[in-house]
Amino acid sequence: MNTKNIVAIGLAAALCGCSALQQTSSQPQTTPTASPSTSATAGNVQQSTSTADGRSIQKIQAGKIEGEIIGTPAKNSKFAKVRIGMGQKQVEDLIGAPNDSHSYTTGKAFIPFYFGKDAYRVETFYKKEGSLTFQGGGITGTSGVLIRVSVDTTADGYAHNGQ
């Protein structure tokens, strides 16, 4: 075989692999759903587990958005007003600006020809509330969509190295 054929076969295999990867990740979830149990849910609770420190983790499906709520927001807290799937600007208009935030890339940012919205994330921190994570924001300059609520009533409201 000559070099051109080897390169063509390698590129074809890589494109097929990327295509198969995107197709399997976009398959709908078939997990049975239950009714929401906290006010921070806007969709269906698909799975409930707990963390090592005893906080509950609820996997939420809100339309096409998959999210999670770690812990349980207090009845009258800021986080009790937010819903998985809300836009970042909408959340800030509702509960106010965060004390701190940081953005980062996910591993998907390094997949060739990946044009999905989960390549960048923004995490915002609220004092005595915890943190909110949005997918899609970052270097794109667009407002992200809320995918994670992490309740921590002891939070100081700032991002810390090593998180």
Q: Which domain holds residue 130?
A: 32-151
Identify the H or E element spanning 131. Answer: strand 130-135
**Is 142 within a domain?**
yes
**CB-CB contact of 123 with 101 (8 Å):** yes
Q: Look up residue 13 and give its amino acid.
A: A
- Range 8-35 average pLDDT: 46
120 has a pLDDT exceeding 70 = yes
| Both tokens assigned to 87 | 């836009």
At residue 3, the pLDDT reads 72
Give the model confidence (pLDDT) of 146-156 as tens digits: 999 999 999 99
**Is 108 within a domain?**
yes
**Is 64 within a domain?**
yes
At residue 53, the pLDDT reads 73
**Is 160 within a domain?**
no
28 has a pLDDT exceeding 50 = no
Residue with the larger pLDDT of the pair 50 and 87: 87
**Is 65 within a domain?**
yes
At residue 9, the pLDDT reads 66
Q: Which residue has the tokens 């409930």?
A: 48
Q: Sheet containing 145-151: which strands, arranged edge to edge?
A: 44-50, 56-62, 65-70, 145-151, 130-135, 120-126, 100-105
| Both tokens assigned to 143 | 């407002």
Total domains in the fold of the chain:
1
φ, ψ dihedrals at 24, nearest 5°: -70, -30
Q: Which residue has the tokens 């149990």?
A: 37
At residue 144, the pLDDT reads 87
Nearest to 74 by CA among 160, 149, 22, 11: 149
Query: Which range (52-56, 69-73, 128-132, 147-151) has the least confidence?
Result: 52-56
Name the pLDDT band for 25 (thresholds 50, 70, 90): very low
